[in-house]
């Protein structure tokens, strides 16, 4: 009975949304940056998001959270190049990569539903600048998180259509076609044969 309940719970679980998976990878990439700032004894700074990655707002939001967790106060966030940068210590961060992609296709059993691997990757380039915009230190950091979800849940978990960086194309399933029904029929026929054979004995 307990096994059945566990199986039902696994079936009902759809996993985190692509945005949540990307956040996990992003936090892993932000942590070394925040640790470096905290280790330098900097108590407050301005965060400047460099580049034109569509997820720049997400990087900013997550980085501010991680910095605050390390005791570093963010006095301002700059996400538009046209804004004037104040004369304070600035942490300039460029998202080099922030994506959610799909990997291998699998099935828990021969006749089970298709499942697909998700891979969230993040790579950041960070530069710490003093009040005169002189480089104090630079750092590259990254994070990667993987999980496996049901193929049928991919649309639901992909999120907004505007977040193209979170909606990679699904890989082609090479295991379908005519071969799959033949395998399923063979497995079912074998089970029926074994059932009646055991009863005859």
Q: In angstroms, how far is the first alpha carbon of the chain from the final one? A: 28
- Please give the pLDDT value at position 124: 98
Residue 83: partners with Cβ closer than 8 Å, 6 or more residues away: none
Positive or negative: CA dihedral 35, 63, 45, 134: positive
Phi, psi torsion values for 124, nearest 5 degrees? -120, 145
Average pLDDT over residues 28-46: 96
Tokens of 153: 């849940």
Token pair belonging to 194: 């074994």
Determine the pLDDT at residue 89.
95
136 within 8 A of 144, measured Cβ to Cβ: no
Indicate if the pLDDT at residue 184 is higher than 60: no
Which residue has tokens 């049901």?
150
**More confident position, 188 or 97:** 97
pTM of the model: 0.75
β-pairing, 115-129 vs 135-150, is: antiparallel
Looking from the CA of 194 toward its CB, the CA atoms found within 13 Å total 6
More confident residue, 100 or 164: 100
pLDDT (0 to 100) of residue 139: 96
Query: How high is the pLDDT of residue 135?
Result: 95
């Amino acid at each position: 009975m307990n096994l059945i309940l566990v199986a039902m719970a696994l079936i009902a679980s759809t996993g985190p949304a692509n945005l949540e998976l990307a956040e996990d990878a992003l936090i892993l990439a932000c942590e070394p940056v925040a640790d470096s700032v905290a280790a330098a004894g900097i108590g407050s700074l301005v965060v400047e998001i460099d580049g034109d990655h569509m997820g720049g707002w997400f990087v900013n939001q997550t980085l501010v959270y991680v910095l605050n967790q390390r005791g570093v106060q963010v006095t301002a966030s700059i996400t538009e190049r046209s804004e004037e940068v104040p004369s304070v210590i600035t942490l300039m961060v460029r998202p080099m990569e922030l994506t959610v992609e799909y990997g291998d296709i699998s099935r828990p059993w021969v006749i089970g539903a298709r499942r697909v691997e998700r891979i969230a990757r993040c790579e950041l380039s960070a530069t710490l600048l003093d009040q005169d915009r002189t480089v104090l230190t630079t750092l590259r950091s990254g994070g990667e998180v993987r999980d496996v979800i049901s193929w049928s849940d991919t649309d639901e978990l992909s999120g907004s259509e505007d977040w193209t960086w979170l909606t990679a194309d699904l890989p082609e399933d090479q295991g379908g076609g005519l071969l799959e029904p033949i395998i399923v029929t063979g497995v079912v026929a074998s089970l029926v044969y074994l059932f009646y054979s055991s009863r005859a004995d």
